[in-house]
Chains A and B, each alone.
Chain A
Amino acid sequence: MAWRDGRASIKRLLLFMASIVLGIAALVSIQSFGGNLKQNFTQQSKSLMGSDFLIVANEPPTEIVQRVLDSLGGANATEINFPSMVSFPNKRATKLAFVRGINGGYPFYGSLVTKPPAAAIEYQRLGGALVDATLMLQYGLKTGDSISVGMVTLPIVGSITSGPGSTGISASIAPPVYIPYRFIDRTGLVQTGSRVEYKNYFVANPEPNYVELAKRLDPILDAENADLDTHESTGRQLGRRYENFGKFLNLVAFIALLLGCVGIASSVHIYIKEKLISIAVLKCLGATRKQTFLIFLVQIAGMGLIGGLIGTALGLILQQSFPLLLRDFLPIELKVSFLWQPLIIGPLLGLIMSVLFALSPLIGTWYVSPLQALRIQEGVSTKTRRANVFVMAAILLFLFAFSFWLLKQVSFALAFVGGILIVFSILTGIAVVFMRAIKRYFPSSWGFVARQSLLNLFRPNNQTLVLLLSIGVGTFLISTLYFSKDILLAKTALESSTKTPNLILMDVQSDQTQEASQSIREAGLPVIDNFPIVTMRMHSIKGRSVNDIRQDSLRTVNRWILNHEFRVTYRDSLVASETLASGKWNPLFSKGDAIPISLSDNVARDAQVVEGDTLVFNVQGVLMETVVANTRTVDWGRMQMNFSVIFPKGVLENAPQFHILSTNAPDEKSSASLQRKLVRKFPTVSIIDVRQLIGLVQDILDKISWVINFMAFFSILTGIIVLIGSIRTSKYQRIRENVLLRTLGAQSSQILKITALEYLYLGLMGSIIGIGLSLLGSQLLATFVFKAAFIPSWIPFLVVVPGITLLVLLIGLTNSRSVLKSPPLEVLRKEGT
């Protein structure tokens, strides 16, 4: 019976199904891609690291670390790496690069792909450098040209196309330059304060039990500020990092699916309403409640299952495009394979979601009285209302369960479901208020065509609200994304346009400060900042030694605090990016027991300390007892030097230190000329060109937003399908209205205008509601997350609103062709021949 009844409405059922296909496809593709990524990271973890495991430290191996290295049979390869300025003598150009001095056969797994290929093996023997291929392209370099790294000038013997664990993004910030290890000393770049990493790579045969190895070595290495990284842990860590991005995309896809389900609920509601008489007749003929309920349940379940299957198939095809989309973010060559989990989830989700969302109208069939066959009764029974409450609860429960499954954290899942509820409620609320306002303040003075099209939004069984919701959510997603990007970029752009630093000189030794400042001034530029930096590590927190805390499995102090090398400055006042959150600011330390220091609030939180707590720092061998005098809120988003720990003046002046200088170069030419001059004079100084960095940030944001836009597009597409479904659902009503108007003498152009205006209103209202909510959301984001002023750009208003409106208009008109073309005689047809 379900089939026989559904057969007559097969087109409409197929349209319901289409509403969920895209959401399922998006979810399955991301699920499948995420699974593949995890699998690839596990399979390729050795290639990512280039070895089985490594021991890494920020200083040369201490005696104890050396003993550990020896006990492991000695490293198979060693590396010293640091960021540094490199210059190309032939091109008179300089650039911040990531210099890697390698000794031995690294990488042992994966490959260092160079051009010519032999250069990857021979650069150490030949005493040449390998330079990132993009960097070579940027500066027009070729094999045989020279590169200066500090005091050493080497021939470039090849370009690096790809290496273990590198991504397009990281390479564009500091492109890699490989040089033989033996030249590192001669560069003269390893000095006090230099950010240097010492890596010792190991190849294990057979592979040890890494958990056991970590258990044995971690306590020893931690005490020496060194770390053991195994290929397994690196693969896991990377997997986790990408998992977060995947979770976010999953949620966007889930929203698309939800939107489709809301569309289903609305369409099924009308579908069932139209079937009420048939249901009543069936009941008159002796069908039980269960039988009539099952007829429609089977139809919807079948449709959901088929939708799930088609969505899954589409998702599997779609995931093939992800490696291409995320190429710049992935450190590995992704091999896509089919995984069983998404194959099950897709159809299952299609089945559950469609039944769940259609349940409310379906329950209506249960309570249909056979009397309806004789006389239509309006209104909803109390029993139906009660059942609807249960259905709503079931939907929320399922949403929570599914989000929990995606996010693996109760609080996140609750926040997501809450967020969805709020956004959907606000959108629905705005749409309802909008519609009521139109009814109340109806523009009676408008012409007939404009009024009639507006009234069409209120026709019986209209789906105006659902359409406004789907158009609104799509617009909301796209606009919020755009505005957020806007806030971030405006923030960086604003600061670069004022007299704030755009060229930062790192690692300036104390004896170079004077001369470097002089060079900047000679170029006609100001020295804006001159921060002294002293490096130190945490020795004890509230009287408990860091080593002791490390051993404590129940510790609440964040691990990074225990291992981090803090770069601390001292000064007597706060800067613009800082505000005092608690305590008293101490400009100068004269005398006393403990030194009053200032902590940024995030460090205080992670170290679990408050005002008055003591901290002992190890300042390059000297222990200094300090007391937390105050905490600061720091705007880390600002493109300027910020510090988590600040000492008062009068303490660190004589400690070994280096400086950070900054200036503002008005244009690229003066910036490049100063950089060349400084690198020539001070090869050990690294220079960060903030202008270039902003360009890079823009580039990264563009790439990320492209991916997110791609996902938001699914919401829009789902919205379009819901729109088509709604047009088809109300087709007969529309035909009746248009034909009647035509019978009463309406011209084709009048009918076309009425129809077009109806979609224009829908598109305009939906997109305006979406963008309105997005403005609100972006303002909240700007205030509470980015802590920046929000000046919305006009682009979403100029592009998104007209774009979406036009899309709705086109789809509306294309799908209304049959309505527009129906002959007037149809108005009499139902009344017999």
Chain B
Amino acid sequence: MTKILNVHNLGKTYTSGSKKLTVLEDISFEVEEGATFAIVGPSGSGKTTLLGLCAGLDQADSGTITLCGASLDAMNEDELAQLRNRNVGFIFQNFQLLPTLTALENVIVPLELQGAKNAAKIGLELLEKVGLADRSHHYPSQLSGGEQQRVALARAFSNTPSILFADEPTGNLDNETGEKVIQLLFDLNEAAGTTLVIVTHDLELAQRTQRILRLKGGKVLTNQLTEAL
């Protein structure tokens, strides 16, 4: 199978005053195209930092990342933005919807950034899929947490990404709502054949993916197939 994400000897250090804090050290792993992949670990283990680096949201201090065949360390900010816009979808713990836009407008932001013409049509179809077609003109403040996350899901799929990064997608939701959102995420993912990388505390959720990478203190503890666990 083709590798969509390839991380090799990755390292990241933050400087706080005169102190250096190593957040990630010598991380290597691969994700196959169309696979589902979970990154788990306790708070402060470097999960979110790793996700950010893999998605090209930040630059690593050492090592290389290849995403969708492109080496991220050789790209500038605008090239990275273009890569994300064409190939990457995001789901955040805090939903991260733009408060000034309606549900539909939020969904089609990635398409509009591309200059796509049939954005509204695609957006409405996606809202239909997440069960929010009738709320398309509502603003985020008029939606519940679960509804906001469903809008975020629709947005994540709007640009038909090759890979989807989800950062604690149920972190701000109750169990029942969280379960519904996750089910929807996996359904949409399966239908679209997208690669899914999830960062989570939730082992139950992690076990629904094909492979789990365990982090501790910025280092890889294990990287195993879920079946093997």
Contacts and interface: CB of A to CB of B under 8 A. Distances in A.
B57 A825 contact: yes
Interface stretch (A126-134, A345-353, A453-461): A453-461
Interface stretch (A277-285, A331-339, A709-717, A742-750): A742-750
B224 interface: no
Given A740-B96, A825-B57, A745 B167 contact: no
A823 B57 contact: yes
A196 B52 CA distance: 91
A824 B58 contact: yes
B58 A831 contact: no
Given A745-B113, A747-B78, A831-B171, A825 B84 contact: no
Contact of A744 (B77, B85, B168): B85
B4 interface: no
A241 interface: no
A639 interface: no
A830 interface: yes
Nearest to A455: B100
B48 A828 contact: yes
Interface in B49-108: 49, 51-52, 55, 57-58, 77-78, 81-86, 88, 90, 92-94, 96, 98-101
A380 B58 CA distance: 41
A745 B44 contact: no
Interface string B149-170: 0000001000100000001100
Contacts of A748: 77-78, 81
Contacts of A830: 94
B159 A740 contact: no
A737 B52 contact: no
A744 B84 contact: yes
Contacts of A736: 96
A824 B58 CA distance: 7
A741 interface: yes
B92 A827 contact: yes
Given A458-B100, A737-B98, A744-B90, A831 B168 contact: yes
A13 to B, nearest CB: 24
B94 to A, nearest CB: 6
B51 A828 contact: yes
B205 interface: no
Contact of B94 (A452, A455, A831): A831
Contacts of B44: 832-833
Interface in A715-746: 736-737, 740-746
Given A448-B112, A831-B92, A740 B98 contact: yes
Q: Which of A459, A737, A744 has the most CB of B within 10 A?
A: A744
Contacts of B113: 448, 741, 744-747, 750
Contacts of B141: 460
B57 A745 contact: no
A374 to B, nearest CB: 15
A449 to B, nearest CB: 9
B182 interface: no
A747 B81 contact: yes
Contact of B167 (A742, A823, A828): A828
Counting contact residues on chain A (CB < 8 A from B), the size range is: 20 to 34
A744 to B, nearest CB: 5
Counting contact residues on chain B (CB < 8 A from A), the size range is: 35 or more
B91 to A, nearest CB: 11
Given A743-B84, A750-B113, A823-B58, A833 B49 contact: yes
B199 to A, nearest CB: 9
Contacts of B86: 745
B88 to A, nearest CB: 7
Given A744-B113, A745-B85, A833-B49, A459 B96 contact: no
Contacts of A747: 78, 81-82, 113
A755 B46 CA distance: 33
B153 to A, nearest CB: 14
Interface string A436-460: 0000000000001000100110111
Contacts of A746: 81, 85, 113
B7 interface: no
B99 to A, nearest CB: 5
Contacts of A749: 78
A491 B210 CA distance: 86
A455 B101 contact: yes
B81 A742 contact: yes
A456 B109 CA distance: 14
Contacts of B43: 832-833
A736 B113 CA distance: 17
B110 interface: yes
A745 B55 CA distance: 11
B23 interface: yes
Contacts of B23: 833
Contact of B109 (A744, A831, A832, A833): A744
Contacts of B82: 745, 747
Contacts of A743: 55, 57, 84, 90, 96
Contacts of A458: 100
A356 to B, nearest CB: 32
A455 B109 CA distance: 13
B49 A827 contact: no
A832 B96 contact: no
A749 B77 CA distance: 11
Given A456-B100, A743-B90, A745-B88, A825 B81 contact: no
A830 B93 CA distance: 10
A63 B67 CA distance: 112
Interface in A782-833: 823-825, 827-833
Interface string A368-382: 000000000000000
A453 to B, nearest CB: 10
Contacts of B98: 455, 737, 740-741
Interface string A547-567: 000000000000000000000
Contacts of A745: 81-86, 88, 110, 113-114, 159
A828 B165 CA distance: 12
B75 to A, nearest CB: 13
A761 to B, nearest CB: 13
Nearest to A742: B81
B99 A459 contact: yes
A750 B85 CA distance: 13
Given A740-B98, A833-B48, A828 B110 contact: no
Given A748-B81, A831-B48, 8 more contacts: A460-B141, A737-B98, A743-B57, A745-B110, A746-B113, A824-B58, A825-B49, A832-B47
Interface of A: 448, 452, 455-456, 458-460, 736-737, 740-750, 823-825, 827-833
20 contacts: A455-B98, A736-B96, A737-B98, A741-B98, A741-B113, A743-B84, A743-B96, A744-B85, A744-B109, A745-B82, A747-B82, A748-B77, A749-B78, A825-B57, A827-B96, A828-B167, A831-B93, A831-B94, A832-B168, A833-B23
